[in-house]
Structure 1
Amino acid sequence: MIPLFRVPMSAQAPDAVAAVVASGQVGQGARVEQFERELADRIGNPHVATLNSATAGLHLALRLVRGSTPGGEVLTTPLTMEATNWTILANGLDIRWVDVDPATLNVDLDDLAEKITAKTRAIMIVHFAGYPVDLDRLHGVLDRAEAIHGHRPMVIEDCAHAWGATYRDVPLGNHGNISVFSFQAIKHLTCGDGGLIVLPNEDMHRRAKLLRWFGIDREGPNRLRNPPDVQEWGYKFHMSDINAAIGLANLSHSDEVLRRHRANAAYYDSRLAGVPGLTLTQRAPDRQSSFWIYPLQVDDRNGFVKRMDAAGVMVSQVHMRNDVHTCVRDYIDQLPALDVVDKRLVCIPVGWWVSDDQREYIVDTVDSGW
């Protein structure tokens, strides 16, 4: 069976972890600091803070922007991992669903524009499959909303799929928003588990670093003592040196992982374009996807899944729509585009482990059923 996911792990990672364990200093320390410096260089933004998961990053991002007044809502997509949206509930905020754009599987910016109100505290966008949302167009939507409502909601970019993705030749994490990356086991860059929050300014950066560890300053003169005062309580969201050591070992390795994902995706683009009963997602020249997954829309998904399974190719929808869960039934909305996409979406293996022969076999299998 050709798998849909595998863990990309550098051969240097075991020794890197062993060195940390032998040092006796395994919590947040020198390895975390080094990892953050190297991540900041890669992204091109110094305002970074590592965390124990991307979910913690999204939770923290909402804490940074929700304000002191209770209530309010966050505009978000249902087509994502539940972690994206459960952080909204965990912050005591309401969800307002935004429909998807079938061409990209990202949020429909027209529907988003219509749903921004004075109650909107934040906008959560997901770069689905690693394909960036049109951030300039989103900026224009927010300009108009600010003129109407006198308030500009903060954008939180869920970049869990999108390590290495660029918009207008600039890496995600540099477009004036809060961006959160995932270093979970099967992502392009893995720490075993972990995350990264990237902030648009130094004030938010300093606050994020405080809140990730109980509100206590880990960089000041009292970092190893009981704090004289905690002005704002925080969480235990920090990364350990063990996870940072894995990340450091994998950082350069992730370049080849990303290159191979893109090469396999380019092959699929060239071979699957125009196949009857199958729709590819959009490719715009101003952005470069990371292709963490390779989504298709197919007319007969059940038949497609059975055929691929029989051929030894693992396929899956990967993310089910979140808005059908009982815990969010109070937020039900009409999402006609998602209703169609949800019945057709399926992903095929695109990762670094897929060989030239295997990707040709996958294409031939996909094409043979129509």
Structure 2
Amino acid sequence: EEVLTTALTCVATNWPILANNLKIKWVDIDPETMNINIEDLKKKLSSTTKIISVVHWGGTPTDLDKLKEVQEYAEKKFGFRPIIIEDGAHSFGAEYNGKKLGNHGNIVMYSFQAIKHLTTVDGGLLVLPTDELYERGKLQRWFGISRERKNKQKDFRVEDDIEEFGFKFHMNDVNATIGLTNFPQVVENLKIHRKNADYYLKELQNIDCVELLNINEKINSAYWLFTFKIKKRDEFISFMTNKGVCVSQVHGRND
């Protein structure tokens, strides 16, 4: 069984694929958006494709309508509808077709690491589209044990039946409290990032050595990153660093 995924991302996107003994098949990115290339994705579908993993690069959503078309194409050709997993680590607050990510029927992962739009210092959020996946997620986050006691007279740690293999992924109360405290700031954080992005788009559009990305009208980016392409990238990064401006490649290729 294989997972179609992108190489342009944090390694955390793709490590779980290998950890579950699945095969990675790399899909190219669209140079206009830095998100997964839908045409290349469609070409690389096979009868063993079970999951499509996409990254919303910099907070800008992938074209979810076209992804749905890919699912339908796979179902028609191979008799199986691949699951779509969205890596939304950059994308808390981003919208597609007027709806926040996490409302389009897919699995979505968010990061609440220290410098994200919403922070809990570390940790994140998993959005699941069905009750079945939600219940499995609750088991897997804490050793396969349900923390919602079925037997009120019994210590929930002493389970007669561990329903599923699990881990220790749950968030503690300290991190959760920090997140709740920061939550009211999210709207303002997004407003600032979008305002800055509008400024960059205006001021950089006529500079010959700079190539801006394309964002379609269905998308309201969270702009956790403002990304553009430039010749002599490394020299540019060094120059801007010397001027006191933080510029970064952010992630290297996973392949």
TM superposition score category, shorter chain reference: over 0.9
**Shift of residue 216, structure 1, vs aligned partner:** 0.9
**Partners of 2:193 and 2:223 within 8 A in 1:** yes
SS of the residue corresponding to residue 322 of structure 1 reads coil
Q: Residue type of the partner of 2:205?
A: A
Offset of 1:302 from its aligned partner? 2.8
Tell me which of 302, 306, 315 is aligned to 2:238.
Answer: 306
**Percent of aligned pairs with the same residue?**
50
Other structure's SS at 2:85 match = strand
Find out whether 1:175 has 2:107 as its counterpart: no
Match of 1:319 in 2: 251
246-255 or 309-318, which deviates more: 309-318
In the alignment, the residues of structure 2 paired with residue 298 and residue 85 of structure 1 have an alpha-carbon distance, to the nearest angstrom, of 27
TM-score (norm 1): 0.67
**1:286 corresponds to:** 218
- Stretches (4+) displaced over 4 A: none
Aligned residues: 252
Say which of 192, 202, 205 aligns to 2:121.
192
Q: Does 1:274 align with 2:206?
A: yes
Using the alignment, how far apart are the partners of 1:224 and 1:241 within structure 2? 19
Does residue 216 in structure 1 map to residue 145 in structure 2? yes
Looking at secondary structure, tell me which structure has more helix per residue.
1
Deviations 1:304-328 (A, max 9, x none): 22321222212110111111xxxxx
Q: Are residue 295 (structure 1) and residue 227 (structure 2) matched?
A: yes
Q: Aligned partners of 2:160, 2:184: CA distance in 1, in Å?
A: 41
Provide Cα deviations, 1:52-80, integer angstroms capped at 9, x if missing partner: xxxxxxxxxxxxxxxxxxxx111000000
> With CA pairs under 8 Å and 6+ residues apart, which has the higher RCO, 1 or 2?
1
Amino acid across the alignment from 1:314: C
Residue 107 (structure 1) aligns with: 36
Instruction: Spell out the pairing of 1:1-370 with structure 2 (5 A cutoff).
Output: 72-222=1-151, 224-323=156-255
> What is the alpha-carbon distance in structure 2 between the residues aligned to residue 256 and residue 224 of structure 1?
41
- RMSD value over aligned CA atoms? 1.1
Distance in 1 (alpha carbons) for counterparts of 2:81 and 2:64: 15
Task: Write the letter of the residue equivalent to 2:209.
Answer: G
Please state how far the C-alpha of 1:231 moved relative to its aligned partner: 2.2
CA distance in 1, matches of 2:156, 2:48: 41
* AA of the residue aligned to 2:20: N
The offset of 1:225, in angstroms, is 4.2
- Asked if the contact 2:85/2:106 (under 8 Å) is kept, the reply is yes
